[in-house]
Amino acid sequence: MATLGTAPSPLLAPPAPGSLWRLLAPLDAYSRPRGPGLATQVAAGRYPRVLELATDAPTSRLRVRLLEDGYPCWLNVDDLLQHGQPAPVAPSPRAWDQPSIEAVLPAVLAFAERALAVPNRYLWGGTLGPDFDCSGLVQTAFAHVGLWLPRDAYLQERFCQPVAVQPGHTSLLQPGDLIFFGTPQRCTHVGLHLGGGRYLHSSGQEHGRDGLGVDDLNPRNAHPVATHYRLTLRGAGRVTRGHDGSPLPP
C-alpha cells in the first residue's frame, strides 16, 4: 500500500471537496486526520469522494467517503495525488436479487477458504490480505464477486436479514450467512458461516488465535476460541442485497 506520509507537492493543488477519484493502487486509510490509526485498506479501482481537507496535521489528509460502501475515512493527500485520478462519473451499482446472490455464494466461500490457506495474522483495518480483521475478511470475500457490504461488523449486522441461531441450534443457517458476536449493546465481531455451525473468521491473539481460523457453534467444541465466541453470540444474518453506495451512519 502507498503510505508516503509527506506533505503534498506545492505544484499540485489538494483535491477539492466534492471531487470523485479512482484509485490506481491500493492505499491505507485512517480513522483520524493525524497519527497511525489504520481504519481500512482501500483496493485499487475503488472510488473515494473527497469531503474535507485537514491542514493542521503534520501530514495533510483528506476526509473521504468510499463510494462502494459509504465508509468515511482519511487518506493522505499525497497518496491520493500520486496513486489516484479524477473520475468524472461514478459507476452505477449492480442490482442484486436473492437468486443472483445465492449464485455467487460458492465463490464467496471459496475466496475465504483460499485466504485461510495462506499464512496470515490478524490486522485491525486489514481488507487486502493476507492479513485481515474480521469484518474486512467478510467484506472482501463478498466484494470479490462484486457484492459490496458495509465495512464494520456492527454495520454488517444491521444490513443483513436476521436469522435465528443459538449455540447448538443452527439448522436455519445456510452457508454464506454471517454470524455476529459481541456484547448485548453492540456487535464487535463477525464470521462467515461455512455450514453445520462452522464459521471462518479472523480473530486476535487476546482470544487465543492470531489470524484466520474455523470454529464451531456446537457446545461440544471446547476449543478456547470457539468457547469464547460462543459465549458472546449475538445472532446471525443473511445477505439479501448489495450496498447501493448511499452514505451510512458514521
For residue 197, what are the contacts with CB-CB under 8 A and spacing of at least 6? 168, 170, 173, 216, 217, 218
31 or 6: whose pLDDT is higher? 31
Cell representation of residue 17: 471537496
Segment 70-100, tens digit of pLDDT: 999 999 999 999 999 999 888 888 889 999 9
pTM of the complete model: 0.91
Interior CA angle at 60 toward 54 and 66, to 5°? 70
Structural domains of the chain in order of their starting residue, each with its CATH number:
21-86 (2.30.30.40), 98-238 (3.90.1720.10)
Q: Nearest 10 degrees: CA dihedral of 58, 59, 60, 61?
A: -130
Segment 53-76, tens digit of pLDDT: 876 655 589 999 999 999 999 999
The pLDDT, as a whole number, for residue 55 is: 67
For residue 118, what are the contacts with CB-CB under 8 A and spacing of at least 6? 129, 130
The percentage of residues in the chain with a pLDDT greater than 90, rounded to a whole number, is 81
